[in-house]
């Protein structure tokens, strides 16, 4: 079956103003962080600090600006996307199959999940679900992340959420987000039980936000150590990806928005796309077209190997490097010749010419 793109086939429906608004919000959130210079170690990263986690809470949670694929099996129609100058829709019906969709958050500030987790508010959404900041009332109000589905009517997303919970439960690596609990809560709209994954709260900036900092020459990404930092991101992400491969798992959707710079470390987040190595069932893979290997775009799940993940790592580093070339004082190109060769090999169109192991 054809792959399921995280970018979604309906991305062409987005107006320039909608994309600009999304970038503006990403930059606004990034400005709330303080980024301090790195230590002397070659793999040391700048330290990202946030004065208050509540600064991340969205005042007015909106549905995904790009829309989402219809949740009914076999239907790939984009629902909820802005069109012809109209804003994105929060709820409605698929125009093709009439399957319902509802992107509004199920949880509100003050809600208590499992008699333990008090919701503070929405902090964003991933490819499949809303992410909430909450406090563990049984552990001195320690912050946790609560992840639920954006669209409870999405059958494919429900299946993916079950897969994510299963994989997160067994993984143990400092570079991969950790699951804490799983709770259910009646939906306030219809009373149906809705499942939520409780995870460690990883406060920080995604590499998509770091990319903006690099493009805008924000300190310390305007100095001579910039390419050291980019290489450090690559090495740390490869450790996490290599761990997954050692567990016979593929990440499948490696991209800047799925990697978090947390304090002076890196965490890979959003494991909803993880699949077993060699898995052919479970529907089409969840990928993002701009970061997917050509063979996977052409043949889908049958072409998924470790080389697809490494292609995503290479494309992620390319994105960061290309942002650096927009700094006026920097010459064109990606940096040192040896670095360019590494990226060229990681992103080679022919998988046999690509790097084979993390």
222 has pLDDT over 80: yes
Tokens representing 112 are 């208590």
Question: Which of the four pLDDT bands, split at 50, 70 and 90, describes residue 43?
Answer: confident
Terminal alpha carbon distance of the chain: 27
Structural domain boundaries in the chain: 31-50+203-353, 62-103, 105-202
User: What is the rounded distance in angstroms from the CA atom of residue 33 to the CA atom of residue 49?
Assistant: 6
Q: How many CB atoms lie within 10 A of CB 151?
A: 27
Instruction: Tell me if 88 sits within 8 A of 81, measured CB to CB.
Output: yes
Lowest mean pLDDT among 63-67, 93-97, 118-122, 236-240: 63-67
Give the whole-angstrom CA distance, residue 152 versus residue 157.
Answer: 8
pLDDT, tens digit, for every residue of 192-204? 778 888 989 998 8
Query: For position 273, what pLDDT does the model report?
Result: 84
Does residue 335 surpass a pLDDT of 80?
A: no
More confident residue, 159 or 105: 105
The whole-number average pLDDT for the span 116-137 is 88
Closest C-alpha to 75, from 101, 47, 53, 56: 101
Percent with pLDDT over 70 in the chain: 79
Q: Could you tell me the pTM of the whole model?
A: 0.79
Q: Quick one: which H or E segment has residue 341?
A: helix 337-346
d(CA 162, CA 81): 26
Question: pLDDT by residue (tens digit) across 281-301?
Answer: 767 788 899 999 999 999 999
Residue reference for tokens 């320690």 = 142
Q: Would the CA dihedral through 157, 211, 180, 139 be positive or negative?
A: negative
pLDDT-derived band of residue 2, with 50, 70 and 90 as boundaries?
very low
Q: Looking at the annotation, which residues are catalytic? A: 253
Looking at the DSSP bridge assignments, the partners of residue 180 are: none
- Given a cut of 80, whether residue 309 has pLDDT beyond it is yes
Tally Cβ neighbours within 10 Å of residue 337.
9
* Whether the Cβ atoms of residue 251 and residue 279 lie closer than 8 Å to each other: no
CATH 3.30.1510.10 fits 105-202, yes or no: no
pLDDT band for position 350 (cuts 50, 70, 90): very high
User: pLDDT at position 247, please?
Assistant: 93
Instruction: Decide if domain 31-50+203-353 falls under CATH 1.10.510.10.
Output: yes
């Amino acid at each position: 079956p054809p792959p399921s793109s995280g970018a979604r086939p309906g991305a062409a429906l987005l107006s320039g103003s909608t994309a600009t608004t999304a970038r503006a919000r990403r930059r606004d959130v990034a400005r709330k962080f303080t980024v301090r210079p790195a230590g002397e170690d070659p793999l040391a990263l700048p330290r990202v600090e946030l004065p208050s986690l509540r600064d991340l809470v969205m005042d007015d949670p909106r549905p995904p600006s790009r829309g989402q694929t219809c949740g009914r099996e076999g239907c790939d129609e984009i629902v909820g996307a802005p069109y012809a100058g109209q804003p994105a829709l929060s709820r409605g019906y698929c125009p093709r199959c009439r399957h319902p969709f509802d992107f509004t958050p199920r949880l509100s500030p003050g809600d208590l999940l499992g008699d333990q987790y008090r919701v503070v508010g929405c902090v964003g959404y991933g490819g499949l679900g809303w992410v909430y900041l909450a406090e563990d009332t049984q552990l001195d109000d320690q912050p946790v992340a609560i992840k639920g589905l954006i669209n409870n009517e999405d059958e494919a997303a429900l299946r993916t959420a079950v897969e994510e919970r299963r994989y997160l439960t067994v993984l143990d690596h400092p570079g991969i987000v950790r699951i804490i609990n799983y709770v259910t809560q009646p939906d306030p709209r219809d009373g149906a039980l809705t499942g939520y994954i409780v995870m460690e709260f990883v406060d920080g900036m995604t590499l998509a936000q770091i990319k903006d900092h690099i493009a805008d020459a924000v300190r310390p990404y305007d100095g001579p150590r910039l390419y050291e930092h980019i290489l450090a991101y690559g090495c740390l992400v490869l450790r996490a990806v290599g761990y997954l491969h050692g567990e016979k798992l593929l990440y499948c959707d490696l991209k800047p928005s799925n990697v978090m710079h947390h304090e002076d470390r890196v965490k890979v987040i959003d494991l909803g796309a993880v699949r077993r190595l060699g898995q052919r069932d479970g529907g089409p893979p969840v990928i993002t077209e701009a970061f997917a290997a050509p063979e996977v775009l052409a043949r889908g799940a049958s072409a998924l190997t470790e080389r697809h993940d490494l292609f995503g790592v290479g494309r992620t580093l390319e994105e960061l490097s290309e942002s650096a070339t927009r700094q006026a004082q920097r010459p064109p190109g990606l940096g040192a010749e040896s670095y360019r060769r590494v990226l060229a090999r990681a992103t080679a169109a022919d998988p046999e010419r690509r790097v084979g192991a993390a």
